[in-house]
Amino acid sequence: MLKKKMLKVTSRSAISSYPLPRWCLGFLLVSLSFQAFATSLEVTSKTIPRMTYLYNPYEFAKTSLETDIKNKATHLATNAIRRAKVTLEGPLTLIFDPMPTPDSKSISLQLGYPISGPVSRRGRFKIEKVPEFKCLTLRLDPQQHNTDTAWQQLYQTAQQQNLELTGEGRTVIREIDDRLEMELQLGIQ
């Protein structure tokens, strides 16, 4: 189970217990759900510290998003732990640069994890030092809310506050106390 502190996974049994399939199901429910918000969610602003990011770039069709992300995230985490011998320091982080439009049939993104420790270059992945990221952020429960509506709320807040957008967005998926939480992050100047 993921904890809020740094996660170090080094054994085969630890890899198989990593909770990837659970968040993938929640991600699908959020991404493909069409239910409206029961209540408005709180939009806040914050700066995400710089990080070392292990990732692979992908382009997914919206229709196969859950399966594609589940498979790629599981493979990447396993590859990073076994071959690169890194410590996954944070939850799955999807980086969209540029952000997809609502009518996009496919989504281009970087799928990866914040990491720490020395890295062995064995494996198929990229590593990048990602600078700090100033953003509007919104946390949501994927069982109750729709991501399209949440993104719209972030864009509306940016427009109301006359904020300049960077064109980058992120989705962070984490498990807290046996429930799934997604945090949407819209880059601002």
> How many CA atoms within 13 Å lie on the side-chain side of 91?
20
Task: Answer yes or no: is pLDDT of 166 > 50.
Answer: yes
Contact 184, 46 (CB under 8 A): no
Give the SS3 label for residue 135. strand
Closest C-alpha to 55, from 125, 104, 118: 125
* pTM (predicted TM-score): 0.76
Average pLDDT over residues 59-88: 84
Give the SS3 label for residue 88. strand
What would the two tokens of residue 177 be?
Answer: 């106390």
If pLDDT is split at 50, 70 and 90, which confidence band does 40 have?
A: low
Q: How far is CA 55 from CA 44, 115, 126, 165, in A?
A: 27, 10, 5, 24
Q: How many CB atoms lie within 10 A of CB 134?
A: 15
Element at 48 (helix H, strand E): strand 43-48
User: Tens digit of pLDDT for each residue in 86-109?
Assistant: 889 999 999 998 888 878 888 899
User: Tens digit of pLDDT for each residue in 17-33?
Assistant: 334 434 333 443 344 33
- Please state, rounded to an integer, the average pLDDT across all residues of the chain: 78
